Chains A and B, each alone.
Chain A
Amino acid sequence: MQILVVDDEGIVLESCRRVLEPEGFEVLLVKSADEALAAIENKGPALLLIDLKMPIHDGIYLMKELKKREIDTPAIVMSGYSTKETIEEADIMGACRFLPKPFTPDELLETVRQVLERR
């Protein structure tokens, strides 16, 4: 099962890979929203982990693009700036869950499993 992680921070990408790969997920790592769009079109991952705050195009832009292209892959939105407003915005854009940074490996796995089970 493929999970695409989008984040401009390498340490976050690497952390996700470290946690998810041992659990049997195939992890795709991209550093920007545009790369993510291309990867989603080509590979068609089962789950998206999207960081909200990224340079050039942010997570909200990516969510909008997905909506536009009628891609309904479930998405978990991560952010180090978890205010009520950002959580709401992500919710409106169709995010399944909001995962505040920093998170422990357990918190990440728990969230991913919940979203996948719901599908």
Chain B
Amino acid sequence: MFHSKRFRLIAGFLIVPFFAGGIFLFIGGYLLFHPMVQESAKQVRLSLNAADNIYNAQIKYVKVALEITILGEGFRFSLIQRDIPDLIDRLERMSVHSELDFAGIVTNSGSTLCRIGENSIPGDNVQPENPIAQHAINHRLKTAGTVVLSKTFMAHENPELSGRIQFYPMEHNNQDTIAQDTTADDEKKACLAIAAAIPIFAQRTNGELIGILYGGILLNQSTGIVDLVQKSVFPVGIQKETSLPTASIFFDTFRVATNMLDENGNRAIGTQVSGEVKEQVLVRGNQWTTREFCLTDRYIATYKPIEDIFGKRVGMSSIAILESNYSTIQRNFILFFIMATFIGTMIAIGMGFLLVYRILVPVHHLVKASQAVSDGYLNPEIGPVSKDPEIALLQKTFKDMVESMKRRRMASQSQILQSEKQASVGRLAAGVAHEINNPLTGVLTYTHMLLRRKDITDDIRSDLQVVAESTDRVRKIVKGLLDFSRQTKLDPETADINRLVDATIKLIENQALVKGVSVQFNRGENLPMFVLDRSQIQSVLLNIMINALDATEPSGLIEITTIAALSANDTGHRGVEIIISDSGCGIASDNLDKLFEPFFSTKEVGKGTGLGLSVSFGIVKEHGGNIRVQSEEGKGTKFFVWLPIDKPKDQPIDKQGEQNADFSRG
């Protein structure tokens, strides 16, 4: 019982941190993580906008580089004069300064005049179409933007560069922007570039179109733009370099420029996006944010379509953040709550044990002690006094209770002893009386028969007289024993206590008169009628009065008082007290305790059996009352006979009906 209580208590303490910890884990693991991912997705989208601006600025940069080149009359003059070496020189310088991958001049008919690189003066063979220059010719306007360049075009433009880079097939989109050369599958492949083309007119502002200056930067396998985006949008230092967000540029569904690394640490060029991203971004033209697995990790990535100068969606730009950045936070979060739960649990267990030792152990002692008490052992061990004031109070109350039980037990033990004595003496008396009385009959009869004879001498007669008198004494003693033994059954009837006292006084009046002792009765007023065994109570009163008379010297006084009184030892039980006080010799304090013991007598041998008060005590007890004595040697003795008005409490009432009958009578 003790153990289960202790563990229930501790379990009760554990539930709280477990429950709280569980809730926090849920909040931390799910409710907080979810909006955090949402927030990071939003951040990625904003980053992509910034990346877009950088991309557009790059286009503008190419355009400005071209515009600066044609400023002044020198370039136009050389073009008009067809001074090819000068033009190439100018193109080379521009390319070097502006880091252009390709640049050249196209005539107003669309054929390439000259360009940078090995193959700077093309021959007469068929030239692949130059989409950016053609756009400028068609619209007679400056053109800048993203273009798709066929592998064939690039092979003509810059064979060294086109040998280095990877081309990808155009699958679903913008077939017409690819060079019309369809000689081989390989030739359907293309790459992505940002480029510009500036029409050059004969006069500075107007006039005949004399050529187109074009130039651009290849995006395939380029590092410039993506690294610039990474550096400017996510400065190193804010996040760890290894978990930096990455920027990518896609040609169609192929990753052509990126700083996302594959498992070998190389740039993950050539990987493809999922069908979902292709559908959402390339086909529908949406900006699309998603959580996806890419290469080796999970990413939060956002994609945006790139349109070329014809307004076709030819690729995508993308920013991706490693989800582990956030899952680390989530893991830390969960770890924190697990730790908090663990610490909470430890504290709860600690408190549980503290409680066990401060409360349950003393309580356990008390339980053991009360078991000992219920088994009758009244000196139980209750353990050390608890520091807890309430437990200490409980311990003290328990101690007090046991003390009062001890006192009561001692009192009741002496009472039990008294009634046991009476019972055993009673049984003995009954047996002895019967056995003695038969031979005693013989003794009495024969003695008296002898005494009737006339032929005996006087001294024989006087001897026989002694035998007869002694036998009479024996007879009285045996009768006393019998009286003592028959205290069991009462013969209750209604009686007036004052009249009973009157009748009893009458019985001793003559003796008192002879002895010269006056008897005074202080009659109590308005005393209730009693239900009692009249003859037994009378014998009690008579016994005490005779004792009083015996103890009182001539000219002494016996005073009898009846008065309504509460019980001296019971709790407020109502009753009547009959006080018999005499001015006699008093009782020695040593003898007061033995007064009610059977066969105790201070009278000289032959004058008392020592049973009178013992019998009286039994009779009064039987009525639910009690007898007390107050005595002072030489001054007198007071006997208090108290009888209850109501039925004694310990007298059980068998049936409900009886109780009702009593009430109706009353």
Contacts and interface: CB of A to CB of B under 8 A. Distances in A.
Interface of A: 7, 9, 11-12, 14-16, 18-19, 53, 79-85, 100-106, 108
B441 interface: yes
Interface string B435-446: 111111111111
B482 A82 contact: yes
A66 B33 CA distance: 112
Given A19-B449, A102-B471, A102-B475, A80 B435 contact: yes
Given A80-B437, A81-B433, A14 B442 contact: yes
A53 B444 contact: no
Contacts of B482: 81-83
B484 to A, nearest CB: 11
Contacts of A103: 441, 444-445
8 contacts: A9-B439, A11-B439, A15-B441, A18-B445, A53-B434, A85-B489, A100-B437, A106-B448
A101 B437 contact: yes
B445 A19 contact: yes
Contacts of B485: 83
A104 B449 contact: no
Interface in B391-438: 430, 433-438
Given A85-B489, A102-B441, 13 more contacts: A9-B438, A9-B439, A12-B442, A14-B442, A15-B445, A15-B446, A19-B445, A53-B434, A84-B489, A102-B437, A102-B438, A102-B440, A102-B443
Given A15-B446, A18-B446, A18-B449, A101 B489 contact: no
Interface of B: 430, 433-446, 448-449, 452, 471, 475, 482, 485-486, 489, 491
B441 A101 contact: yes
Most buried by A among B433, B435, B443, B445: B445
Most buried by B among A16, A53, A104: A104
A101 B438 contact: yes
A105 B437 contact: no
Most buried by B among A9, A15, A16, A19: A15
B486 A83 contact: yes
A76 B449 CA distance: 22
Given A81-B430, A83-B482, A83-B485, A12 B448 contact: no
Contacts of A101: 437-438, 440-441
A99 B444 CA distance: 14
Q: Kindly list the 3 A-B residue pairs having the minimum CB-CB distance in the complex, ordered from nearest.
A: A80-B437, A15-B445, A11-B442
A108 B441 CA distance: 10
B442 A15 contact: yes
A53 B430 CA distance: 12
Contacts of A108: 445
A85 B482 CA distance: 12
A85 B471 CA distance: 26
A100 to B, nearest CB: 8
Contacts of B486: 83-85
A12 B444 CA distance: 10
A64 to B, nearest CB: 21
A104 B445 contact: yes
Contacts of A9: 438-439, 441
Contacts of B448: 104-106
A52 to B, nearest CB: 9
Nearest to B536: A84
A92 to B, nearest CB: 15
Contacts of B445: 15-16, 18-19, 103-105, 108
A107 to B, nearest CB: 9
A104 to B, nearest CB: 5
B434 A80 contact: yes
A33 B515 CA distance: 51
Nearest to B485: A83
Contact of B438 (A12, A85, A105): A12
A89 to B, nearest CB: 13
Contacts of A84: 486, 489, 491
Given A12-B438, A15-B441, A104-B444, A80 B433 contact: yes
A16 B442 CA distance: 9
Nearest to A9: B438
B474 to A, nearest CB: 8
A102 B482 CA distance: 13
B515 to A, nearest CB: 29
A23 to B, nearest CB: 12
A55 to B, nearest CB: 13
B449 A81 contact: no
Contact of B441 (A11, A53, A82, A85): A11
A102 B434 contact: no
A4 B80 CA distance: 187
B438 A11 contact: yes
A119 B430 CA distance: 34
Contacts of A83: 430, 482, 485-486
Contacts of A15: 441-442, 444-446
A16 B575 CA distance: 51
A18 B437 CA distance: 18
Nearest to A105: B448
Contacts of A7: 438
Most buried by B among A7, A53, A82: A82
Contacts of A16: 445
A81 B446 contact: no
A88 to B, nearest CB: 10
A101 B478 CA distance: 10
A9 to B, nearest CB: 4
Nearest to A15: B445
Contacts of B446: 15, 18
A85 B440 CA distance: 22
Nearest to B486: A83
A37 to B, nearest CB: 22
Contacts of A105: 444-445, 448-449, 452
A97 B43 CA distance: 127
A85 to B, nearest CB: 7
Nearest to B436: A80
A116 B134 CA distance: 173
Nearest to B471: A102
A9 B440 CA distance: 11
Contacts of A11: 438-439, 441-442
A112 to B, nearest CB: 14
